[in-house]
A and B are shown apart, each in its own frame.
Chain A
Amino acid sequence: MKTIDLAKQTVRDLNQALHDQAAACTETEWEVLNPKGQHNLAVGLDQKLRVDIKGHAGYYCGGMNKEADIVVHGSAGQGVAENMMSGSVRVKGNASSSAGATSIGGLLVIEGDAGSRCGISMKGSDIVVTGNVGHMSCFMGQAGTLVVCGDAGDALGDSLYEVHIYVKGEVKSLGADCIAKEMRDEHIQELSHLLKRAGVDEDPHAFKRYGSARQLYNFKVDNASAY
C-alpha cells in the first residue's frame, strides 16, 4: 500500500501520483493521511485503484471518478463524487450538499445524512443514503437510482426525468412533476439488488417509490402554473 500524508505533501502531489497510475499502474492500494477537509481529493481517477481517505474531505472528493473505489473515513463536503462515471465512492460520515451531482455511473454510498440537492441532475449513477437527504434532492434527475433509508426534505424529485427514487421514511414534500408510484416486483428486485451492492441491510418492502409524472416533459399551456 502506498501512503500519501497530506501533512507533508500537497493535494497536487496526491492527484498527480494517482493520475500517473493510468500510464503505468504500479500500486492499486492507496491511503491518504491527514486530509483535514482539503478540497479536490482523488479527483479525475481513471484506474481500478482503492483509495482510503483517513479523515474528512472537502469539496468534490472523488469528482469525475472512473473505476476507482474511494472510501472517505469521515464526512465529505459539497459535491462528493460529482459527475462520477464508474467505480464507487463511500462516505462513512455525512455528506454536504450536491452529493453525486450529475453523476453518470458508479455507486455512491453515504452512511450518514446527505445535505440538500443530493443527486441533483444525476445521469445514471446509483446513490444510496443510509440517513436523511435535504431539500431539492434529485432535482432534474435524469437517470439512475436514488435510495434514501431515512427521510427526504422538501421538493423531492422536482422537475424529475427518469430517476427511480426509493424512500423508506417520510417525504416532507414532492417537487413539481414528482409523484408516488406503485412498487412492483421489478422495483423490489432493483432495490434489493442495489441495497445488497451498497452493503445496506434494509427490507426493500419497507420503501415507497417515487418518479416522474412526465407531465412537464413538453410545454403545455395548461401547465403554466407549474413552471
Chain B
Amino acid sequence: MSEKKKYITELRESATFDRSTMSEIRRAAETGIYDIRGWGAKRKLPHFDDLLFLGASMSRYPLEGYREKCNTQVTLGTRFAKKPIVIETPVTIAGMSFGALSANAKEALGRGASAVGTSTTTGDGGMTPEERGQSTKLVYQYLPSRYGMNPDDLRKADAIEVVLGQGAKPGGGGMLLGQKITERVAKMRTLPMGVDQRSACRHPDWTGPDDLAIKILELREITDWQVPIYIKVGATRTYYDVKLAVKAGADVIVVDGMQGGTAATQEVFIEHVGIPTMAAIPQAVQALQEMGMHRKVQLIVSGGIRNGADVAKCMALGADAVAIGTAALIALGCNDPKYDEEFKAIGSAAGFYDDYHEGRDPAGISTQDPELSKRLDPVEGGRRLANYLRVLTLEAQTLARACGKNDMRNLEPEDLVALTVESAAMARVPLAGTNWIPGQQQF
C-alpha cells in the first residue's frame, strides 16, 4: 500500500460517472442497444413534497375534521356530453393496457375503482370483458395504434380518452416486447405472436388540432354525443397544448407529467423528455383560465401522485381530479418485498424492479405468464386498491378541511407555499415565509 493510500478512509465516487452511470455504459457497450424499462422517471425532480399547505389559524377558519362535510364528488365532461361521469373521489385510475398488465391486474383495478365510485381506464390494447365487467365507470382510450378499437366497445365506454401523449414518453409511441405478445394479446391487437410491438407515435388519420376537432366530432357522432371526450397529453408545452385541446373540443383534458409511468420505453426517453407534473399544472390552469374554461373543461392531472397530500396539492393548483397508475400497481402488490428473493433471481430487487417489458414480474401484475398471473387475486387486489383510494381521499379531505374548505375543489394556490425557489417558480406559489413568486415578482 502506498504512503498516500494509508490515510484514505473513504473512496470518492464521481458524481458525474457514478456507479449507475458506469453500469449503463458497460451495458450499452456489451449489447449495442438502448436500455428499455418500465416505471417512470427515477431521477429526483421538483415535486409536491416541495410544497406545504398553510392550515387555517386566526386569519382562516378551519372545518371540523370528523363532523363537517368536505365534498369529494367531481363531475367530468360537463361541456358537451349528454352523460357526464360523476366520480365520488377525485382520484381516478390512469390508462394501462391489457398486455402490459395481466387480465387479473386489469380486473383488480376495475374492482378497486368501482368500490369507491371512481373510474378506471383501458390502454393500448383494447377493452377486455374482465375490465368492462368490473368497472362501473370505464374510460376507453383512443390511441394511435387503435389496437382492438371497435365501435361496439366505443359505445360501451363511459368516456373516450384521445391519447396524444404520455408523461413518461411525450412524442413516443407505446412498446410491448415479444415476451408479452401471447396468443390472446396478439389476437386483440391483430399482430403475430411474439413480435416486438412498437405502436405509432402519431394518429394514423389526423395530423394537427384542426383535424383533431373533426376527429372528435366523428367520435361524438358515432356515440350520439352521449359520453365525454378527454384529450390526454404528456406534459411538455402544456400551456399551448391545453389551449389547442380546448379549441379542438375536449370535454376533459388529462395532463400527464414526466413522473408518470410506462410499461416499456427507452430509459433515455423516460428520464430526459417532458416536464415535472408540478410545473405542468399552473400552465394548464392558466390556459384554461385565459379561455374562460377553467372548471368548464375539467383538468385531470397525473404523474407521481402517491398520497392524499399530492392529491390535495394538485387540486389546490387548479386540477379537478387526479389519476394514478404506478401507485395503484404498488397497492396491488407491485415490487412487494415478499417477492424479494424472486426479484433477485431475475437480477433486480423489491423496490427496484422496472423490467415490466420482460413479462417476468413475480407479483403477477406486469406479466402475461399464466402461472405468475395467478398470484394476483383480483378480488384481493381490488380490496387493497379500494383501501388505498379511501386513504388518499381521507388524507386529501383532512388537508382541505384544515384549510377551511368544504369542497376539495375550493382548495386554491393561496393555500400553498413552496420550500424551494425552483418549486415556487414552477408551482407559482410564494417561497415559504415570503411573498415572493419567482418569475412573477421582484424579490
Q: How far is the CA of A16 from the CA of B223 in the complex (A)?
A: 10
| A102 at interface by CB-CB < 8 Å | yes
> With A64-B154, A120-B204 given, is the CB distance from A40 to B218 under 8 Å?
yes
Please tell me if the beta carbons of A40 and B214 are within 8 angstroms of each other in the complex.
Answer: yes
> With A66-B151, A143-B190, A161-B195 given, is the CB distance from A121 to B204 under 8 Å?
yes
Task: State the Cβ distance, A187 to closest chain B Cβ, in Å.
Answer: 19
| A213 at interface by CB-CB < 8 Å | no
Residues of A within 8 A of B192 (CB): 161-162, 217
Please tell me if the beta carbons of A218 and B194 are within 8 angstroms of each other in the complex.
Answer: yes
Residues of A within 8 A of B244 (CB): none
Q: How far is the CA of A217 from the CA of B198 in the complex (A)?
A: 9
| B196 at interface by CB-CB < 8 Å | yes
Please tell me if the beta carbons of B204 and A124 are within 8 angstroms of each other in the complex.
Answer: no
Please tell me if the beta carbons of B196 and A218 are within 8 angstroms of each other in the complex.
Answer: yes
Please tell me if the beta carbons of A124 and B205 are within 8 angstroms of each other in the complex.
Answer: no
| A224 at interface by CB-CB < 8 Å | yes
Residues of A within 8 A of B204 (CB): 82, 98, 101-102, 117, 120-121, 139
Please tell me if the beta carbons of B205 and A217 are within 8 angstroms of each other in the complex.
Answer: no
Please tell me if the beta carbons of A43 and B222 are within 8 angstroms of each other in the complex.
Answer: yes
Residues of A within 8 A of B215 (CB): 59-60
Please tell me if the beta carbons of A15 and B32 are within 8 angstroms of each other in the complex.
Answer: no
Task: State the Cβ distance, B225 to closest chain A Cβ, in Å.
Answer: 8
Q: How far is the CA of A143 from the CA of B186 in the complex (A)?
A: 12
Residues of A within 8 A of B154 (CB): 44, 64
Q: How far is the CA of A85 from the CA of B190 in the complex (A)?
A: 13
> Chain A 59-70 against B: per-residue CB contact (8 Å), 1 yes, 0 no?
110011010000
Give how many A-B residue pairs fall within 8 Å (CB-CB).
105
Task: State the Cβ distance, A4 to closest chain B Cβ, in Å.
Answer: 14
Please name the residue on chain A nearest to B149 by beta carbon.
A83
Please tell me if the beta carbons of B223 and A79 are within 8 angstroms of each other in the complex.
Answer: no
| A107 at interface by CB-CB < 8 Å | no
| B221 at interface by CB-CB < 8 Å | yes
Pick from B154, B196, B218, B222 the residue with the most CB of A within 10 Å. B218
Interface residue ranges of A1-56 to B (CB < 8 Å): 11-12, 15-16, 19, 39-40, 43-44, 46
Please name the residue on chain B nearest to A39 by beta carbon.
B214
> With A44-B151, A121-B146, A221-B31 given, is the CB distance from A79 to B221 under 8 Å?
no
Task: State the Cβ distance, B221 to closest chain A Cβ, in Å.
Answer: 5
Q: How far is the CA of A19 from the CA of B195 in the complex (A)?
A: 38
Please tell me if the beta carbons of B218 and A60 are within 8 angstroms of each other in the complex.
Answer: yes
Please tell me if the beta carbons of B222 and A124 are within 8 angstroms of each other in the complex.
Answer: no
Please tell me if the beta carbons of A60 and B190 are within 8 angstroms of each other in the complex.
Answer: no
Task: State the Cβ distance, B428 to closest chain A Cβ, in Å.
Answer: 39
> With A60-B205, A101-B204, A221-B32 given, is the CB distance from A44 to B149 under 8 Å?
no
Q: How far is the CA of A5 from the CA of B309 in the complex (A)?
A: 57
Task: State the Cβ distance, A98 to closest chain B Cβ, in Å.
Answer: 4
| A156 at interface by CB-CB < 8 Å | no
| A142 at interface by CB-CB < 8 Å | yes
Interface residue ranges of B113-164 to A (CB < 8 Å): 145-146, 149-152, 154
> Chain B 18-50 against A: per-residue CB contact (8 Å), 1 yes, 0 no?
000000000000011100000000000000000
On chain A, which size bracket covers the interface? 35 or more
> With A78-B206, A224-B33 given, is the CB distance from A59 to B146 under 8 Å?
no
> Chain B 177-205 against A: per-residue CB contact (8 Å), 1 yes, 0 no?
11000000000011110111010100011
Residues of B within 8 A of A155 (CB): none
Please tell me if the beta carbons of A140 and B205 are within 8 angstroms of each other in the complex.
Answer: no
Please tell me if the beta carbons of B222 and A63 are within 8 angstroms of each other in the complex.
Answer: yes
Please tell me if the beta carbons of B191 and A39 are within 8 angstroms of each other in the complex.
Answer: no
Please tell me if the beta carbons of A219 and B33 are within 8 angstroms of each other in the complex.
Answer: yes
Task: State the Cβ distance, B114 to closest chain A Cβ, in Å.
Answer: 27
| B68 at interface by CB-CB < 8 Å | no
| B224 at interface by CB-CB < 8 Å | yes
Residues of A within 8 A of B198 (CB): 159
Q: Which of A44, A97, A98, A121 contacts B145 (CB 8 A)?
A: A121
Interface residue ranges of B203-243 to A (CB < 8 Å): 204-206, 211, 214-215, 217-218, 221-225
Q: How far is the CA of A39 from the CA of B223 in the complex (A)?
A: 16
Task: State the Cβ distance, A153 to closest chain B Cβ, in Å.
Answer: 16
Residues of A that sit less than 8 Å from B by CB: 11-12, 15-16, 19, 39-40, 43-44, 46, 58-60, 63-64, 66, 78-79, 82-83, 85, 97-98, 101-102, 104, 117, 120-121, 123-124, 139-140, 142-143, 159, 161-162, 217-219, 221, 224
Question: Could you show 28 A-B contacts with beta carbons less than 8 Å apart?
Answer: A11-B221, A12-B221, A15-B221, A15-B224, A46-B151, A58-B214, A59-B211, A59-B215, A63-B222, A64-B222, A78-B211, A82-B205, A83-B146, A83-B149, A83-B150, A85-B151, A97-B205, A98-B204, A98-B205, A121-B145, A123-B190, A139-B204, A162-B192, A217-B192, A219-B196, A221-B31, A221-B32, A224-B32
Top 7 closest A-B pairs, CB basis?
Answer: A44-B222, A79-B205, A98-B205, A102-B146, A221-B32, A101-B205, A64-B151
Task: Given contact pairs A44-B221, A219-B33, enumerate 20 new A-B contacts (beta carbons under 8 Å).
Answer: A12-B221, A15-B221, A15-B222, A40-B218, A43-B222, A58-B214, A59-B214, A60-B205, A63-B222, A78-B211, A98-B205, A98-B206, A101-B146, A121-B145, A121-B204, A123-B146, A142-B191, A162-B192, A217-B192, A218-B195
